[in-house]
Structure 1
Amino acid sequence: MNTSLFYLVREPEIILDKNPMLLLLHGYGSNEEDLFSFASELPKTHYVISVRAPYPMPPYGNAWYAINFDADQNKFSDDQQAISSRDLIVKFIDEMIAKYPIDAQKVSLIGFSQGAILSYAVSLTYPEKIDKTIALSGYFNPNIVAPDYRTNDLSKLQFFVSHGSVDQVVPVEWARKTPAVLESLNIPFEYKEYPVGHGVAPQNFKDLLQFILKD
């Protein structure tokens, strides 16, 4: 079975009738091996699937969408590419559910940086597909979410949002706007900051593991 995105999989060691899935979405310029490096630390009950973003960035690495700079070093995101990636991720989730005995009600996202930005877009546009969303070092971009997302049934969603307080890539101020958005949608969430840059601190990893394991 051909899939719409290249991926790595760690199958669960504890087999249930249907197992939950954790889908790992890497950051800009990285690849599927990045987040997969901590797959062995993730719960043994889950399919852990790490996916490669669709846009190659020579000489190596991939992106979910292009980021362009103008002469004044302002950054512009290609929102059309991001929307295309958002929908491709959902198509990929359906492919995985068809291929493996995955519990379609227990699909969670772990996104880092650009992958976190996509995680917001996927879960708010297609909330029936997602259980938990872990958004690491990213922010909410309303331009890549379906325009009518506020009318969606968001009652199943839960978020874990974290950021480094000295992040030099994605300013922490951008992440700090997220709690107000999630509160306005009545989505339960945890928001945490750690004294690190653009990365995942050990305590951050422990906290997100607890979030995955709680009901």
Structure 2
Amino acid sequence: MGAFGDPVVLWRGSDDPTAPLVVLLHGRGSNEADFVDLTDHLPVGFAYAAVRGPVDLGGGYAWFENRGIGRPIASSLAGTMRWFRAWLDSVASGGRPVVLVGFSGGAAFAGGLLLDDPARYAGVGVLCGTLPFDAGVSVEPGRLAGAAVFVAQGVLDHVIPGELLDRTWKYLHGDSGAFVVSRRDLVGHELAPEVLAHLAEWVAGRV
């Protein structure tokens, strides 16, 4: 699949090719094996694919080159989104529902995919991350009208710049037009235990 090759994917859950597909997108500097255990907390009956980011950082992987934390380089994001969509089309054609769940850098990537093609996804989870503002994808008012988005942020998160977390929160709850389920918990750059149950409930409701 172009310069990045075929994705490395860990599969869990249903092996029915028509089952709703939840794609898990790890954080920057991590890998698919670090995120696949999230499936232990998510509903049965879904197919789960934990995908490795295509950008090799030498000890971890990422979804795009950046110009600072939470700030993708537009050309890099465009290229990796094309690569991802080619893979997704090969495993989720024919109207198969697709939900994206991304953490940190994976959340920015998931948000970019949603903003680029809002009608493609049954839902997108943005966990401890920002949308990719100023990175070549539209954030015009109404862009995500009717889209289902789950947002979880840590009040004590000092990894993602606070201005980006606040901008993400404001846009999703306001101008985007998305149907948002959200929470802010008294944690840092991590998922509060309560998030897992809330996320599972939200995922179950996507189909």
Q: Deviation of residue 149 (structure 1)?
A: 6.4
Q: Aligned pair in 2 of structure 1 residues 175, 155: CA closer, same or farther (>3 Å)? A: same
For 2:51 and 2:187, how far apart are their aligned partners in 1?
25
TM-score by length of 2: 0.85
For 1:108 and 1:75, how far apart are their aligned partners in 2?
21
* Partner secondary structure for residue 184 of structure 1: coil
Equivalent residue number for residue 81 of structure 1 = 76
Q: Larger radius of gyration, structure 1 or 2?
A: 1
Q: 1:177 aligns with which of 161, 167, 175?
A: 167
Gaps of 5+ in 1: none
For 2:138 and 2:6, how far apart are their aligned partners in 1?
25
- Mapped pair 1:138 → 2:129: yes
**Conserved? CA contact 2:153–2:184, under 8 Å:** yes
**Conserved? CA contact 1:164–1:172, under 8 Å:** no
Q: Aligned pair in 2 of structure 1 residues 181, 145: CA closer, same or farther (>3 Å)? A: farther
For 2:97 and 2:57, how far apart are their aligned partners in 1?
32
Which residue type is aligned with residue 121 of structure 1? G
Q: Deviation of residue 32 (structure 1)?
A: 0.6
Aligned residues: 203
**Conserved? CA contact 1:104–1:129, under 8 Å:** no
Which residue type is aligned with residue 84 of structure 2? I
For 2:200 and 2:70, how far apart are their aligned partners in 1?
33
**Conserved? CA contact 1:89–1:122, under 8 Å:** no
RMSD: 2.7
Q: Deviation of residue 142 (structure 1)?
A: 2.6
Relative to total residues, which structure has the larger strand share, 1 or 2? 1
Q: Deviation of residue 105 (structure 1)?
A: 4.6
Moved >6 Å (runs of 4+): none
Structure number with the bigger relative contact order (C-alpha 8 A, sep ≥ 6) is 2
**Conserved? CA contact 1:20–1:104, under 8 Å:** no
Greater Cα shift, 3-12 or 47-56: 3-12
